[in-house]
Amino acid sequence: MPMQKYEYMSNVWRDGIFENKVVFCTGGAGSICSAQVRAMVHLGANACIIGRNVQKTENMARDIETARKGSRVLGLGGVDVRSPEALAKAAEKCAKELGAIDFVIAGAAGNFLATIDQLSPNAMKSVIDIDVLGSYNTLKATLPYLVESAAKHKTDGRTPPANGTGGRIIFVSATLHYSGTPLQTHASVAKAGVDAMAMAVAIEQGPKGITSNVIAPGPIAETEGIARLSKASAKEHAKGIPSGRWGTVKEIADATIYLFSDSGNYVNGSTVVVDGGQWHMAGIGGQFNYPDFLLSGETVTGVAGMKKSKSKL
């Protein structure tokens, strides 16, 4: 069902700032990434979203198109970010049909809850492959197009870019590894790798005009992550968040617009944390009784994103 504007972006942004630009997004059918893309499309961009589930990805593409009359959003399902070849073909199709790739969001991720005791080598490898190698494959597939876009859309920070902005990538990460998070070893290691990659891209590709940054969402309401990985209610969880509430997808989309727009010209190699200050609490928000739940040896229950000890990812 189409969303109302204020559900996916603030009213402060001027219409048309991404006119004739193209955004390529992995994980684009997900609740957070789809809001990021929807906001870009509302502001003039066309888009290509990538996902594994064909029907879900194609349906989301049609839904995102409702953000702006006349927009074009390609939904390329059946694409696994762990396949460099599949992503290269997707990027080529996007550029051929929409004319370019100016912005990239590397948002595909995998996660569940598991202690190290429960975490199999295969499960660990799968998360690393999806998050780290998937982000790398996304970068490699789109980098030639980003270099071309950056060359066309240069800015000196003193005058408005004649052709708008371009040549920018955002890696969607997390705050799990900042202070350490139980049951999230796999995701923490993966996201630390994603952060390191984003910084390397900023250093190496910055001289070509490309900007590479990270958005690290905290707990975002009404998302798959909250539904699968948290058994605490919003009220209970909010006790561990200085801002006193879960975030919204709109707030992640606003950060995306900031980094991709003229306002983010000189932001490169940075991490924008959008979590209401939660990571500074260095706690787990009362969701589990630490360390008792670890010492008990009991299996985690009550959440959809649980990793069972005998299951194979």
Cβ within 8 Å of residue 137, ≥6 positions away: 81, 82, 83, 84, 87
CA gyration radius for the chain? 19
Starting at the edge strand found earlier in the chain, the sheet holding 22-26 runs 73-76, 46-50, 22-26, 103-106, 168-172, 211-217, 271-274
Amino acid at 277: G
Amino acid at 255: A
Going by C-alpha positions, the residue among 111, 117, 122 that lies closest to residue 312 is 122
Give me the DSSP letters along 151-166: HHS---SSS--TT---
Going by C-alpha positions, the residue among 89, 107, 37, 31 that lies closest to residue 67 is 37
Residue 31 corresponds to which tokens in the numbers above? 């609740």
Q: Are 119 and 128 in contact (CB under 8 A)?
A: no
Q: Catalytic residue numbers?
A: 173, 191
Q: Are 258 and 264 in contact (CB under 8 A)?
A: yes
- State how far the Cα of 215 lies from the Cα of 55, in Å rounded to an integer: 27
- State how far the Cα of 114 lies from the Cα of 131, in Å rounded to an integer: 17
